[in-house]
Amino acid sequence: MGGGATPIVPVLVGDDWNAALLWRALYDAGVYVNVALHPAVPPGGALLRTSVMATHDRATLDRALSAFAGVKRAFEAEHGPLPGPDAQPPAQPAE
């Protein structure tokens, strides 16, 4: 996505339904993220938006990363692989 420093870290999921399922699993694991679905993003560009703040200490970030890993593992065991770290969102159609 961009190379600039930002507190918003997008996690590309692709499929709207998968993004909603992951959002709920993370919420149940104690991690709140925003979910962005079509039409807020292009079709196939569903993502989770994490917000990292200065008030998040190392233990909080480690717990969130651990929850992400556990949710990803459980999701992929049931539903198949998610996009990798180099996945790119679909291009916006020209107007």
> 8-79 maps to which CATH number?
3.90.1150.10
pLDDT digits (tens, 9 = 90+) for 3-39: 567 889 899 999 999 999 999 999 999 999 999 999 9
Q: Give the type of residue at 80.
A: G
Q: Where are the domains of the chain?
A: 8-79
3-state secondary structure of 26: helix
Q: What is the pLDDT of residues 37-85, one digit of tens each?
A: 999 999 999 999 999 999 999 999 999 999 999 999 999 999 998 888 7
Lookup result for tokens 């997008």: 10
Give the burial string for 50-71 (b: 16+ CB within 10 Å, else e): beeeeeeeeeeeeebeebbeeb
Average pLDDT of the residues of the chain = 89
User: Please, which pLDDT band fits residue 88 given cuts at 50, 70 and 90?
Assistant: confident
Query: Global pTM?
Result: 0.83
